[in-house]
Every structure is written in C-alpha cells, then in structure tokens.
Amino acid sequence: MGKRKLLKESPFQKLAQRTVDTGDEALKEARQIDISKIETNPRQPRRSFDVDALAELAQDIAARGVLQPPIVRPIRGSDHFEIVVGERRYQAARQAGLKNIPVLVRDLDDQEAEITSLVENIQRENLSLGDEAGYFKMLQTKYDYSIGEIAEEVAHKSRSYVEVRLRLAEYPAVLELVESNKLGLQEANLLLRDKAHLEENLDKLAQSLQNSQAVFSKDTTLQNSQRKETVAESRPKPVEGGSRLARPFLNFAKELRSVAKKLDKVEAEEKKLLLASIEDLEREIATIKGHLTGHKK
C-alpha cells in the first residue's frame, strides 16, 4: 500500500472513530484477555516511559483496575495480540500483577496501527519536544501527511507550531540544544529559517557554546580558589571573566539580529514574533551578564 492510499480509502476521521478507547461504550465493548497473550509493539514510537509515573499507575490499577482499555490487534497465525495504543497501561497492569486485562480488539493493518499509535502519542500532554518532532516527521515523510493535516486533524495546533518542530527534526543537534535548555525554541526556529546562511550560523553557534563552556570551566576554577582565601562579603564581587563568559552569547545575539534583517519575505505577524524572541534573548543575556559582572539591571 503506497503513500496516501490509507487516507483515500480510510479518512483519518474514520480511523479515529474506530480507535476510540475512552468512555462507557469502550468499557462495555472491552474483552478480557490473558495478559500473557499480549505482545508489545516493536515499532512503538515512544522512546521511554517515566519509571515513577509507571509505578504510580500500577498502584492505581491494582486498586481500581484498568479504566481505559488498551487497543490491540490480532497477530496473524497466532492467538496473541499486539498493542496498538496503551502500552503504558499494559506495562502498569503487569506490574500490578493482573492476570487478565480488558482490551479493545481492532482489525488494523500495519499503516493504520502505526498511525493510530503515533496520533495517540502526539496527543499526550507531557510529550517531549524530541518525540513530538519525530512523530510529526514520520507522519509527513512516511505517510505523506501535509502540515495542515498534522496541525488540524492530529495535533490540533497551528501550522507554525508543526513547522517549527519539523525543522527541528531535520537538525537533531539543534533539537538537542533546545531540549537541554542551551538554546531557546524561538531562537532555534529563527536560526533554521535562514536557509542561505544556515551552515555558517550553525558553526557560529557551536563555536559560541564551546567558548562559553571553556570560559565557564576556567572561571569556576578561579572562583573555587578565591573562596578558600576570602570571606564572603554581603555584596558579591564581580566574577573575573564574567564578561568573557557572556561575550559568546552576546556575539551570537548579534548574529541573530543580522538574520532578522534578512527575513523580508516572512509574513508581518510572524516576523513580529521572531523579532520579539530576539529581544527576549538579548534581555536574558543582559541579565546574565549583569549577574556575572556584579551589575544588576
């Protein structure tokens, strides 16, 4: 089955209706299945489960049972079933010691099963930025979903929201910086929009981060030695090298401003938001520099 065929034969809305797993009707329809006959999905798009949250869910299931049945599909040539939606609930039920688990059995092909699993994960509230970007990319590249379809039918977000995450999915290194709070989401988006100077700007960003890390390491050593020789004063002294620590970020902020001047073709409203993000970044850098040099604004 090629791209788009699934959408033409079985529109997303119909697929969503077939895979509803909440409400009284779902509980009434659920079948009790031996939990040993349930198998996890080897193509599960979700990368990890929070151990503490899983243990908490297991305690809740032990006390109240499974209130939202997972969706499974039959495995051909076997009396076993594969999880499509609800692996976390299944894992928690196992931890709780359940022998049987209520499930909704759906006859889904590989594409329908994967799309259903992707959509379920996308619509979780605590989805990480990296997972979200990866799911959007898979829907777009593997199943030919348009940005509009992802935004309106799947994520229920704006087109720009989806576009930003698709850009990040193309550049894992930048995505990692955003996830580790070393680069703001809006700043990353601004950086990736400037296609003409992208490689140059990425190199400058990497150099800025490398320089700031080296200066921070040197200044930290200096601070530690000073603490052994002096008594803390009521007003902190400027940290030697503080300006040098902030300088790479200030330089990069200047680069971002030069990028902003090249965005003549961007829509006015979006340009306004991008420029506002640059100003926010500059204010944050000024605050950091003030703390490092002992001059608060």
Active site residues per annotation: 87
Q: How far apart are CA 168 and CA 58, in angstroms?
A: 34
Are residues 21 and 118 in contact, defined by beta-carbon separation less than 8 angstroms? no
Q: Regarding beta strands 81-85 and 38-39, do their DSSP bridges make them parallel or antiparallel, or are they unpaired?
A: parallel
List beta partners, residue 102. 32
Q: Regarding beta strands 81-85 and 71-74, do their DSSP bridges make them parallel or antiparallel, or are they unpaired?
A: antiparallel
- Torsion (CA) 181, 195, 199, 270 in degrees, nearest 10: -20
Classify residue 23 by burial, with Cβ atoms within 10 Å: 0-12, 13-18, 19+.
exposed
Q: How far apart are CA 108 and CA 112, in angstroms?
A: 6
Q: Which helix (H) or strand (E) holds 15?
A: helix 12-18
**Residues near 175 by Cβ (< 8 Å), separated by ≥ 6?**
129, 130, 133, 168, 169, 188
